[in-house]
Amino acid sequence: MCRWRYSGDCDLLLINGYYDASVRRGRLDFTSAIVCHLDAMKEKQAISSVSCFFESIFQYAERADGDDPAWGFSDNQGTQRAGSALRRLVLSLLPKELGKDAERVAYFAVTDISLPPPNRSILSWLGLNPK
């Protein structure tokens, strides 16, 4: 289903889901996932608390519009943190502060955790013909 593996800590995957009413079937899209390692995010101060982070997810979901809410949420969080980083940089002129904020923003990056397509030549050689 996907390449993500449990880290052993408190993980949260934010992924898009789609429902096709014509066939009454849903699917999960792992190509634009946000993999949140909540303990690390809290430790690095990318989030103030897990509960506040969940609230920001819920608030975003209530007003999300578009075909890719994961990207939208990532952009929203990145913009908030980048604005904060720029503000601190201008005020303090300390490059190391920018590095810390850049590290925090990275926690909200979208990544493709879907499985790669099967290697059709190997599968054909084995006598299997995937669709």
Quick: pLDDT tens for 11-70: 999 998 889 999 999 999 898 888 999 999 999 888 899 999 999 999 888 888 777 888
Domain span at residue 98 reads 11-125
Q: How many domains does the chain have?
A: 1
Q: Which of 65, 43, 49, 56 is nearest to 14 (CA)?
A: 56
Instruction: Tell me how far apart the alpha carbons of residues 27 and 20 are, in angstroms, rounded to a whole number.
Output: 8
22: DSSP letter? T
Residue 6 forms part of a structural domain = no
Q: Give the per-residue pLDDT at 68.
A: 80
Residue 82 forms part of a structural domain = yes
Q: Give the per-residue pLDDT at 131.
A: 46
pLDDT higher than threshold 70 for residue 112: yes
pLDDT tens for 87-103 read 555 545 545 666 566 66
Give the number of other CB atoms < 10 A from CB of residue 90: 8
**Left, alpha or beta for 87 (phi > 0: left; psi -120 to 50: alpha)?**
alpha
Is the pTM of the predicted complex or chain greater than 0.75?
A: no
Residue 130 forms part of a structural domain = no
Residue 20 forms part of a structural domain = yes
7: DSSP letter? -
Q: Give the per-residue pLDDT at 9.
A: 93
